[in-house]
Structure 1
């Protein structure tokens, strides 16, 4: 008898069918529409051995490697998730190196372990393409892997905050795995579209800035480490088609109130002093609670009971809690400064 392997059903699914089954939000459907058709590159999801090697290279902790490998989507048992994996990977490949406004979030998928790890498998699938792109724009091998290690950091961070493995909403990872976000030493960056309108704090029409991030897992924010990172970023930017003319950092660490609570020579205050202009100020009490203490809360106000639980070991911890206890608020805002390659 001639036995032939059955063809998996997931390639024949439609976006509308997948959206109904997985209850995808309208913005997710809109995001996937350009790559929803049957035509596109044939993508190979890495096997578990290859995935383990990639995750290890991305500094993924053993617990997160184990849960990811156990949650590899099954073409027969998880057809809709396999379709979503394939089209999400196609989307990232189609966007390689494209500078887009904003920072698009990929919302967490409802469901069990396979759904919570699905985007991890998307990122692993596109890794060879991103690595090739990194080499093409001038990143070294070590810089490339340091950039992709954002995946390992995100897995560990989400697990510690939520008490369960997998990814929640992925804010920066789609930028990293479409090649526009990269890590250079102490800081990380995202390429941005050219600015076109007059009235920007530092940019002239036609210029661009590198969106700057301050990873929390990279040691002290010393001026020397930041100088080295900014210098390397400008060196890399010489090869970009856009004219990079400075840096912008949107973060609660750019809240100028921190200078009222921290020593003048603290690394955070010295980083702020690089900036010559600030804008886009938005209340964000949640930000220091999340990034300093790895805690979340519901509602606009930080519960007093939560403040009472938070450690007060460092000057920054005391500044965050003391300001909130006194009735103050913390804000995200963007700090800008101009520098040319």
Structure 2
């Protein structure tokens, strides 16, 4: 493979690298000569960024070893530059799933597995500027961007390989559409009236007080948005109403679930608790008994997940909603 990266087009890059349909095509409009060009931070700056973004040492080392080079890898540099431009073009814009962030082919090696990480690092100053426009504090901005370190660590533990297979949530974080406010994270949906809610892996309990503080802060932030936000939504396996059969009503998960109502959009998702609780990736329709027998049973939640699957049950992602309270009623969170 050879050539000057800016002379390449989407079709040629797709042919040379063997991209799946939609990945490179989505980047085509921001390709070609003209427009901003990506400038990668130095190793020293990357080291400081990794510390701020919670990127573990092993992931930092693999990232630096996979620094892309425009002359050595012109096709990958074309993808990197277009990815950077796409992040800038979509800054602050609510969008749905984007095939541009699908997995890169295995033949792109470690550079390919880290390519999007370099795009995210390059755009950090721009997304932090955007955070300031919607009223996020400096600490909230950095805490939001720590999602990169968390996803790198999770991907490595799930796959045994450094880097990212694919990424759907991080482009929203690095365009300012997704952000963390205390215990909870939020995401501006591509339809009006809803702010999606996520529960990041906990460095602290999912307590009522912590969740109240996050929702109250989110109400303040959405006042800066041009669209009117009328409700919080949460689409997650944590919204599966079957959990009430196994967990005590006093558990933090059940307390969190009871904040929501109007549960809908029931989608089979056995993979979700396996990934988020046990850090096991399994996408087949039925989880085999041998795998279930290997899973730990240390907590009530772990026992609930495994017991339900062994009984032939399925776990589901469901969507619950909470209406935004009036300013005088903040802290009083009732289902929609």
TM-score (norm 2): 0.93
**2:13–2:24 CA contact under 8 A, matched in 1:** no
2:231 to 246, 257, 278: 246
Deviation larger for 20-29 or 182-191:
20-29
**2:69–2:77 CA contact under 8 A, matched in 1:** yes
- Distance in structure 1 (CA, Å) of the matches to 2:74 and 2:195: 39
- Distance in structure 2 (CA, Å) of the matches to 1:298 and 1:37: 38
1:222 to 193, 207, 227: 207
What root-mean-square deviation, in Å, do the aligned CA atoms of Structure 1 and Structure 2 show?
A: 1.4
Alignment of structure 1 residues 28-43 onto 2, 5 Å: 28-43=23-38
- Distance in structure 2 (CA, Å) of the matches to 1:28 and 1:279: 31
- Distance in structure 2 (CA, Å) of the matches to 1:96 and 1:241: 14
Alignment correspondent of 1:183: 180
Structure 1 residues 189-213: Cα deviation after superposition (integer angstroms, max 9, x where no partner): 1112344xxxxxxxxxxxx111111
- Distance in structure 2 (CA, Å) of the matches to 1:48 and 1:178: 23
- Distance in structure 2 (CA, Å) of the matches to 1:103 and 1:33: 13
- Distance in structure 1 (CA, Å) of the matches to 2:58 and 2:169: 22
Alignment correspondent of 2:121: 124
Structure 1 residues 155-176: Cα deviation after superposition (integer angstroms, max 9, x where no partner): 1111111111111211200100
Alignment of structure 1 residues 136-155 onto 2, 5 Å: 136-155=133-152
TM-score (norm 1): 0.91
Against the structure 1 CA distance between its residues 104 and 75, is the aligned structure 2 distance closer, same or farther, given a 3 Å change threshold? closer
1:325 to 284, 294, 310: 310
**1:275–1:335 CA contact under 8 A, matched in 2:** yes
**2:24–2:79 CA contact under 8 A, matched in 1:** no
**2:194–2:232 CA contact under 8 A, matched in 1:** yes
Q: Which runs of 5+ in 2 are unaligned?
A: 328-336
Alignment correspondent of 1:52: 47
Cα shift at 1:231:
0.3
Deviation larger for 102-111 or 27-36:
102-111
1:193 to 187, 190, 213: 190
1:26 match: secondary structure: coil
Against the structure 1 CA distance between its residues 270 and 182, is the aligned structure 2 distance closer, same or farther, given a 3 Å change threshold? same
Alignment correspondent of 2:164: 167
- Distance in structure 2 (CA, Å) of the matches to 1:193 and 1:155: 26
**1:188–1:213 CA contact under 8 A, matched in 2:** yes
Alignment correspondent of 1:338: 323
- Distance in structure 1 (CA, Å) of the matches to 2:31 and 2:168: 22
- Distance in structure 1 (CA, Å) of the matches to 2:7 and 2:148: 30
Deviation larger for 96-105 or 76-85:
96-105
2:132 to 132, 135, 138: 135
Moved over 4 A (4+): 102-105
Equivalent residue pairs, number: 322
**2:26–2:100 CA contact under 8 A, matched in 1:** no
Structure 1 residues 126-176: Cα deviation after superposition (integer angstroms, max 9, x where no partner): 111111111111111110010110000011111111111111211200100
- Distance in structure 2 (CA, Å) of the matches to 1:36 and 1:160: 34
- Distance in structure 2 (CA, Å) of the matches to 1:253 and 1:261: 13
Deviation larger for 27-36 or 150-159:
27-36
